[in-house]
Structure 1
Amino acid sequence: MWVEPRQELPMTMGRSSAGSDVVMIDPATNTQPAVTNLNVTKSSRVHIGPKFVSVTQNVDNTEVVKDLPFYRYVWEFAKNTSLAERLSCIIAILVLIICTLLIVYFTVLTKRTVPDDDVAPHEWYISREMWLNEIPFNTTERTTDFEPLNLVIIAHTVSAECHVFKNCATEMRNLHENHLAEHKYDLPYNFVIGNEGRVYEGRGWNVVGAHTLGYNRCSMGLAFIGDYREGSSGYSKVTDLQLQRASMLLAMGVRMGYLDSIFQVVGAKDLDPNTLSPGTNLYNRIRQWPNYAHDNVFRNRTCQQIYDYFKGNKTQAAEND
C-alpha cells in the first residue's frame, strides 16, 4: 500500500521462511523507516527495503554455571573435555578412593584386629595348670646331678603360630597330645615361648627333657612355637618380646638355683648336625646373646664332661681372682 510523501510510511510485517520477522517497504520512495531495534530469530541476513542487511546476533544466556545442579555441572564439564582428560580424572578419583580406604583400614580396622580376649592367668609365666593340661607326666627323672645347669638348648616346635593366650594354650595341648601319640612321652621341652611372648611351662624346672639326645640330663630345653626356617613358606619371625621373656625366664632360673650364673646358650643344631632347629631366623638372634657359646665346645661331649668343663672354668676363674 502506497502513501503520500512526507507522511509516515506504513510498514507491513511478515515472516520469513526461517521464522524471522520481515519488514516490507515501498522501493519507489526514498523514505527509509526508522529502525532502531530489530529482533531477528534464526537468520543472519534480513531484507529491509532494497537492501540485504547482515545481522550480528547477541545471545544472552541467562542460565549461569553456578546455578546449575552439581550433577549437570559435572556432565557439562565432562562433555567439554577430551577423552584423555576424562581418563586422567577417573584415574585420579580411583587413586583418591584407594588412598582413603587404606587410611581407614590402617587407622580404624587394624585396631579392631587387636584381640580383646587375649586375657591370661599371668602376665607372662603360664604354668601347666594354667594352659589346662590335665594329662599326668613323668617327673621321676631329675637334673639334680648336674645342677645348677650350665647349658640351655634353644629349639623350635615347627608348628602353627599362636598370638593370643587361648590359641597358645590350645597349641600346647596339641603338642602334648602329638608327642604322647607318636613318641609315648610328655612334651620334650622344659619351657615353650608362644608367639605372643608368654612363657608356657612344659616339663618345668629340674626335670629331664627329651629335646636333644645325649644332653637332656644336663641342660634345659627352651622351644619357640612356630617354624623359624627362613627358607620355608610363611616362616615365623622372632619378636623382641619373645627374646625379652626368654631372658626373664633364664634370669628366674638363675635366681632359683636351677641355672648357673655363667650358663651358656646353644642352638639344637650346634649339638645335633642332623637338625635345622631352631631355624635360621631364631638362630641368628640367639647368636647375638652375650652368653651364646660361639666356640661350641659341647658337641660330642657327655653330660659329665660338660659339667667338669664348667666346674674347671669356675675353679680357674676363682683362683685368678
Structure 2
Amino acid sequence: MFAARDEILSDRVLDDKIAKMCVTDHTTDSDKQIDLTDEVSNFSLLSALSSQPLVGPVTIENSENVHVGNVIYINNIRVVDNPGWTMVSKDRKPQFPLIRRIEWLAQPSVNPKEYLEEPARFVIISHTATEEGFSQAENVLLARLTQTFHIESRGWDDIAYNFMIGSDGNVYEGRGWNVVGSHTQGYNARSVGIAFIGCFLNNLPPATSLLKCKNLIEFGVKIGAIRQDYQLLGQCQCRPFLSPGQRLFDEIKTWENWNENVTPSNPGV
C-alpha cells in the first residue's frame, strides 16, 4: 500500500500497461489509497509518484520553524497547546518552563551534587542583593556573575540557590530540584532555596515574577520535591540577614504556608 492524494494521479499520464488500479476512499478523510492489482508493476507506480515524497508518521516535539522537506501533503496534523508543562511519557517527569543552566552559561558544579534525603521541608525565599534584571539578557549576566562570586569568592561548589527568579518573569535554574544548596546555613539539607534577582528592601519584584515563584512552589509540591505541608520562610528568619529585603518579606508573609514562629533565635530545624 502507498498513501497518496488522488490529485497526484490526475496530473500523471501512466503507462498503458498499468491496469486495474483501484482507488478507494478512507473512512475518515479525503485521502486516497492506491491498491496494486494484476499487472501493475512497482516500477510503473514509482515512476508515476517519483516526485511525490511519501512520509510516514512524524512526531515533532518542542520545536519551532521545522523544515520537513519537499512534502506535498501531510496527513493528520495535530497541534497541541503547551499548558506550561507536559507529561511526555511515563518515563519522563513533567517540566516547568524555566531558563536552564546551559542557557545562562552556568559552569558545572565544582564537586558532585549532594541530594536531599527527602522532599524539602522548607521553602526559603531570599534575594541576590544585586542589580535587578528586567530582560533575559540582563538576568543571564547577573546569574553568571553571582555563580562566579559564589564559587571563586565564597568557595562554594556552585551557585547557592536552587532557583532564581528575574524581574523579567523567568525562572532561572540554579542547583535544581532535590539538590542541597548553600543559601541558608543550617537549612540547606532540608530546603529549596529560591532567590529573587535584585535587592528588595524598598520595592517588590513585578507581579509576574511573584506569581511565577508561587507557581514554582506549587509545581515542586506536585512532583514530590517539596512536602505538601512545607513551611515558607524568609531567609532573615533563619539567619541574621536583611534578605529577602523588607518589602519582599512583607509580601511573602501573606503567602500560603508562611511560618511566623521561626526566627534566628528560634530555628525551625
Q: Please state which band the TM-score falls in when normalised by the shorter chain.
A: 0.5 to 0.7
Distance 2:264 2:134 in 1: 34
Distance 1:198 1:215 in 2: 25
Match of 2:210 in 1: 243
What is the CA distance between 1:140 and its match in structure 2? Answer: 2.9
1:189 corresponds to 2:161: yes
- 1:129 alignment partner, SS class: helix
Q: Which runs of 4+ in 1 moved over 2 A?
A: 134-140, 295-302
Q: How do residues 70-85 of structure 1 correspond to structure 2 at under 5 angstroms?
A: none
Distance 1:204 1:123 in 2: 11
The higher relative CO (CA closer than 8 Å, separation ≥ 6) is in 2
Whichever residue aligns with residue 191 of structure 1, its letter is F
What is the CA distance between 1:298 and its match in structure 2? Answer: 8.4
Match of 2:234 in 1: 267
Match of 1:178 in 2: 149
Distance 1:291 1:299 in 2: 20
1:282 corresponds to 2:248: yes
1:130 corresponds to 2:103: yes
Structure 2 unaligned segments of length 5 or more: list them. Answer: 1-94
Q: How do residues 1-321 of structure 1 correspond to structure 2 at under 5 angstroms?
A: 124-144=97-117, 147-185=118-156, 186-230=158-202, 236-272=203-239, 274-296=240-262, 300-301=266-267, 306=269
What is the CA distance between 1:239 and its match in structure 2? Answer: 1.8
Number of residue pairs aligned between Structure 1 and Structure 2:
174
Deviations 1:64-89 (A, max 9, x none): xxxxxxxxxxxxxxxxxxxxxxxxxx
Distance 2:97 2:136 in 1: 10
Whichever residue aligns with residue 151 of structure 1, its letter is F
What is the CA distance between 1:289 and its match in structure 2? Answer: 0.5
- Whose radius of gyration is greater, 1 or 2? 1
What is the CA distance between 1:297 and its match in structure 2? Answer: 7.5
Whichever residue aligns with residue 181 of structure 2, its letter is G
Deviations 1:261-290 (A, max 9, x none): 111101011111x21111011001100102
Deviations 1:39-63 (A, max 9, x none): xxxxxxxxxxxxxxxxxxxxxxxxx
Structure 1 unaligned segments of length 5 or more: list them. Answer: 1-121, 231-235, 307-321
Residues 286, 239 of structure 1: alpha-carbon distance in 2 compared, 3 angstrom cutoff:
same
Q: Do the aligned partners of 1:189 and 1:203 also contact (CA within 8 Å) in 2?
A: yes
Distance 1:133 1:278 in 2: 23
What is the CA distance between 1:135 and its match in structure 2? Answer: 3.5
CA RMSD of superposed structures (Å):
2.1
What is the CA distance between 1:134 and its match in structure 2? Answer: 3.4
What is the CA distance between 1:124 and its match in structure 2? Answer: 4.5
What is the CA distance between 1:138 and its match in structure 2? Answer: 3.2
What is the CA distance between 1:291 and its match in structure 2? Answer: 1.2
